[in-house]
Amino acid sequence: MKTIKKLLKYIAIFILSLFTYLLIVTLLSFISVNEDLAENQQEIPIYILTNGVHTDIVLPIKNEHHDWSTQLKFEHTKSKDSTYQYVALGWGDKGFYLETPTWADLKTSPRVLPGANAPFVPPFGDFRWAVSNGLLNPPESSAPC
């Protein structure tokens, strides 16, 4: 009998906790955010790029809100070409980025400890042109968000 009372007590606590959680979530959902958001703001195209192994977020280098060229210097790229219009931002294990450009390069040896992290920031010329002409494989892996 004592065990049944204890079990019922724990079930009641669980149900009361669940009900309290649902009540708090429901009440908090009525709090407005971004009330001052302008509805006529121009949208900025953001793309998700994947080659099946790595995934990156692709942004225009310059727009009315931010100029990435102030932080990502063109002279630090291989080509030093300042006509790039888009930049891809990715992050991950440095060894994985450098040693695994495709699934065929994936090694089956297990890694016990993760290696050093590294940003992956390749610039693009006209990214939209490259996507529409199928130069980024697979082209359907890049879609505006």
Do 72 and 96 sit in the same domain of this protein? yes
> Is residue 41 one of the residues assigned to a domain?
no
> Is residue 42 one of the residues assigned to a domain?
no
> Is residue 39 one of the residues assigned to a domain?
no
For residue 24, what are the domain limits? 1-31
> Is residue 36 one of the residues assigned to a domain?
no
> Is residue 140 one of the residues assigned to a domain?
yes
SS3 content of the chain, % helix, strand, coil (to 5): 35, 20, 45
Q: Residue 44 pLDDT > 60, yes or no? A: yes
Do 57 and 86 sit in the same domain of this protein? yes
- Predicted confidence (pLDDT) per residue in 64-116, tens digit: 888 888 887 777 777 777 777 888 888 777 777 677 767 777 776 655 566 67
Q: Residue 3 pLDDT > 80, yes or no? A: yes
Do 13 and 67 sit in the same domain of this protein? no
Compute CA distances 132 → 78, 129, 137, whole Å.
Answer: 25, 5, 11
* Tally of domains within the chain: 2
Contact 50, 141 (CB under 8 A): yes
> Is residue 127 one of the residues assigned to a domain?
yes
Q: Which of 84, 52, 130, 66 lies closest to 121, judged by CA?
A: 84
Q: What is the DSSP string of 6-29?
A: HHHHHHHHHHHHHHHHHHHHHHHT
